[in-house]
Structure 1
Amino acid sequence: MSHPIRLAHAEDYPRIMEIWESAVKATHHFLAEEDFEYFKEVIPRDYLPNLEVYVITENRIAEGFAAVAEGNLEMLFIHNESRRKGLGRTLYEFMKDKTGLTKVDVNEQNPQAIGFYEKMGFRQIGRSEKDGSGKDYPIIHMSL
């Protein structure tokens, strides 16, 4: 079954945030409620409009999204109900071919994501105590 990938538009943002919320609730158990609410607010306001975001679709419905900036995979999320179908790999490979990305930062407390990127050929090259927003979530820096 094919999963077309296309550039996201502003009208996709509500669905993108549904995907984000479903993925984060399934994988980021460590995220404090107030930080969840913070990201829910800033992602559509500050991040999405400034990135080239791509969505992967199934039956014309977005089931995942990703964005790359300066060779760094800034985000890749798949709706929890659509995980384990190969959409993450398909979307990742599309983004890699399109952008030549070489780096990704992953929450240390999200071992599933670290495992996924290791399968895609990344290795750990560093660690930060805080995330990009200065919050206390250690980040693993990975590179191809």
Structure 2
Amino acid sequence: MLRMSRPEDMEEIVEIWLLASLQAHDFVDASCWWQAQEDLRTRYLDHARIWVFEERGDLLGFTALVEDFLAALFVRPDRQGRGVGHALLQEVKAQGKALHTRVFVENEPAVRFYRRHGFVIGGEVADPLTGHLQYKMSCPAIRIPG
């Protein structure tokens, strides 16, 4: 079930982010992700509209939208490949805005995921936290009938 996040979800959201970041971004030193947890809370999550995917009381994934910037879309590593990320992205796209995000160049599965969902690469930029290159990706607004 998709729903808006609640304050009591925050610890589980950060846990999902950390576990998924460690797996998907294994090209970055793990200490970087451990140290970035507080920045995640204050820089993105406190200012974002957050949706979570919940199943039987467990959060499986979340997405965070700051205006038209998709700041986060993460799924628990043991629950990936089951449509959770697709459902979360569809919810964000249903807001009717053109979207922008950044994806590490080395994270090929994520790049493929976003391209399958209509995002295009519009350039590269160095991530200020890690120094690794990220693609700047965007997706035009999609009007959903009804």
Same fold by TM (over 0.5)? yes
* AA partner of residue 21 (structure 2): V
Query: Contact 1:52–1:68 (CA<8 Å) still a contact in 2?
Result: yes
Partner amino acid, structure 1, of 2:9: D
Q: Where does structure 2 lack aligned partners over 5 or more consecutive residues?
A: 140-146
> SS of the counterpart of 1:125?
strand
The partner residue of 1:76 within 73, 87, 104 is 73
* 1:142 corresponds to: 137
Look up the SS of the partner of 2:26 in the other structure: coil
* C-alpha RMSD over aligned residues: 1.5
Structure 2 counterpart of 1:124, from 102, 110, 121: 121
Q: How many residues align?
A: 139
Is the CA contact (8 Å cut-off) linking 1:5 and 1:55 kept in structure 2? yes
Q: Could you say what secondary structure the match of 1:98 adopts?
A: coil
Structure 1: 5+ residue runs without aligned partners? Answer: none
Indicate yes or no: 2:32 matched with 1:67: no
Q: Which residue of 2 aligns with 1:19?
A: 16
Q: 1:99 to 1:73 in 2, by over 3 A?
A: farther
Query: 1:67, CA displacement in angstroms?
Result: 1.1
Q: Which runs of 4+ in 1 moved over 6 A?
A: none
Contact 2:18 2:34 in 1 (8 A): no
Percent of aligned pairs with the same amino acid: 27
